[in-house]
Structure 1
Amino acid sequence: MIEFARWSRLLRRCRTTYHCMGALLFSLLMLWVLPAHAFTYWDDTSASAVTLSRGDFVARASQLKGLEQLAYVNRVINNAARQTPDTRDEWKGFDRLIRDNAGDCEDFALAKYQILRQAGVPPDRMDLMAAEDQLTPSYHAVLRYRRDDGSHLILDNLTPLILPEHARSDLTPIVIFDQHHARRYHKGKFEVVDPARVLLGGVRLDKRMQRLLDY
């Protein structure tokens, strides 16, 4: 088993049981049921705050193509929530990231994957990469986009720049994966690996892969 370790307001006191139950049910509803209907992000290009629904966001992204589409989604999601290290390894998709207004690197990468898939990007064009950040050093997660020539672009929550993978010498790949395939980086190249043998944050990778669109 391959282990990659890093992936890593209480309710106010109520006066009555009735009030406690009501507050608890409302909190659970907000946390787990309601989608992110609207969110606000800082738009660097217009130097203004922009509020969108998820549907509007996807619709706008769907109208764009290629690098313009990638740059738009990367910019919006990077500026829609705060980057915060996880106190526990808990992956979040787009709705949860927006609702919490904070997330770790894998949450941003996962949110971009979900929105781009919904905006029409074919699934075989994207995967997520767990890597070792040589500058920190720590573990990091990014989204990769495969171009027509087979090379990849990196969408990173720590920068608005979308650079070719070969230009990201600060990242040493560990494993790449999508919903169906996983490959680990070994001796300078990627090789197929059984995701059931890979742990990310103590969870088998095959279990995480099954939920990429559902987190």
Structure 2
Amino acid sequence: MNTDKRIGAFVFSLICVHLCSSAVLFLPGCSKPNAANITLRKENQELQSRIEQLELARKTDTNALRAAEESKGTLQTLPHDRLAKLFAANDLKIGRLTGGARLKADSKSDDALKVYVVPTDETGDDVKAAGSFIVEAFDLNAPNSPLVARWEFSTDEARKHWYGHALLYEYVLPLPLKTIPRHEMLTLKVTFIDELTQRRLEAQRVVKLTLAPTSATHPAVNVDP
């Protein structure tokens, strides 16, 4: 709003100049316009036009800002020194239980991955922080097409996968595999975007899948839905 105040002060100054200049035109003794008065009148007209343009621009900017706030909301952020005093997410830790999983009860091999992950503060303690996730799985033994799959979880979706009871205090993200990779060793890259600070935190871990015997000698296969 400091910008509006500066514009308002500038407009007020221009109006004062305009009024004072106009008064000069009506001083006694000025029986007819001269070159100086004509020039001054033109300058006053230009100033008035400029004032109108500034007012229009200010109204346009105000309306645009209001519309943006109504459609997206505003994110109030703290200064860095105050944010540093909070127990905020500073790093990301992938749990040791992360790895292959079986979503189908009758499956004899892994058809999914599960990621156990939790944000941590600057001292390494676990923090229940809200945010979104991007998880990518890479088969580094297949250099021509290393990306196996990619999953995204919005903040609302990730919230449903938080476990804070028993021995768990972390997100447990289920990652179904549409295509079973040829190799059992995969590299997982997990990205967390903190909802409060908008920080992007990343962590990686190598995990192992239990594959069907044919997967080691045949190309990757699609999993029936």
| Structure possessing the higher radius of gyration over alpha carbons | 2
Same fold, judged at TM 0.5 (above): no
> What is the TM-score normalised by the length of structure 2?
0.21
TM-score (norm 1): 0.22
Higher relative contact order (CA 8 A, sep 6+): 1
